[in-house]
Amino acid sequence: MTAPALEAVDVTRSYVLEGVTVEALRGVTLTVERGDYAAVVGPSGSGKSTLMHLLGGLDRPTSGVLRVGGRDIASLSEDELAQVRNATIGFVFQAFQLLGRTSAIDNVAMPLVYRGIRRSERRRRAVEALTRVGMAHRLDHRPSQLSGGEQQRVAIARALVGDPQVLLADEPTGNLDTRTGEEVMALLEGLNAEQGVAVVLVTHDLEVAARARRQIRVRDGLLESA
C-alpha cells in the first residue's frame, strides 16, 4: 500500500515568545494523499502558516507524528530531512523567492544542485520544467525582466523540476492581478489533474479556496474541517 504524501497525527507546535508559551497548533491530524488538491484557510493567527511549514518539513512538531513521503521526520537528521524535503515537496511562495541576479533557467535548476546532478542534466530538466509552465521563451531572463505572473511561473517550474509528490503554495496569487492570478491557478490545477501532483495551498481568498476539492479550515490551532 502506498503511503500518503504527507501525514500529521495529533501534531502540536508551540513557541516561547518573551517568556510566554504560544500554542500555534494544538493537536492536528491530517492526511494529504498523492494527487490531492486542498486549500488551507483560516483567519490570521489561526495556525495555517505553521501547519504549512510543518507539512513542508521546514519545521518539526513539538509533539505528535509527522511523516513526509512516508518517513517520520522525528528520526531524521537535518541533512536527511533536507534530502526528503528536496525529493518530495515543491514550494511556491507569494513573493516568488527567486534569486534576483540569476536567470530563470538557473533559478529553476537550483534544487537539483543539492541532489548532485551534473550541470548539463540540470539545465535539461530546467528547460523541460519551464516549457511545462509556458516559459520556454524566457530561459535567460532575470526576475527583474519578468512580470509578476512570469516570475510566479518560474517559481512553479522550480517547484516542479524535481518531480515532487506535493506542491505547497503559500498565497500563490497574493501578489498578482485577477487575470494573472487566474492563469496561475489554472496552471496549478492542470498540473494536479494531468500529472497527479498533489497541490496544497494556503489562501485568504475564499474564491481561490473554493476551487480546491477540499478545504482544510484552521482556527485557534485546531482543524474545524479537513
Residue 218 lies in a domain: yes
Is the pLDDT at 1 greater than 70? The verdict is no
Percentage of the chain beyond pLDDT 70 is: 99
Helix orientation angle between 104-113 and 148-160, rounded to the nearest 10 degrees: 30
Residue 55 lies in a domain: yes
Residue 27 lies in a domain: no
Q: What integer best gives the mean pLDDT of the chain?
A: 91
pTM of the model: 0.88
Instruction: Give the list of residues 6+ apart from residue 131 with CB closer than 8 angstroms, or none.
Output: none
Give the per-residue pLDDT at 216.
94
What CATH number does residue 219 fall under?
Answer: 3.40.50.300
When pLDDT is cut at 50, 70 and 90, the band that residue 204 belongs to is: confident
Please write the tens of the pLDDT for every residue from 40-70. Answer: 999 888 999 899 999 999 999 999 999 998 8
Rounded CA separation 122/102 (Å)? 15
Please write the tens of the pLDDT for every residue from 143-167. Answer: 999 999 999 999 999 999 988 999 9
Q: Which residue has the cell 496544497?
A: 200
Tally of domains within the chain:
1
Residue 117 lies in a domain: yes
Give the residue numbers spanning the domain of 126: 35-59+78-225
Please write the tens of the pLDDT for every residue from 82-132. Answer: 888 888 999 998 888 899 999 999 999 999 998 889 999 999 999 999 998
Residue 183 lies in a domain: yes
Residue 206 lies in a domain: yes
Residue 67 lies in a domain: no
Give the per-residue pLDDT at 116.
86
Residue 162 lies in a domain: yes
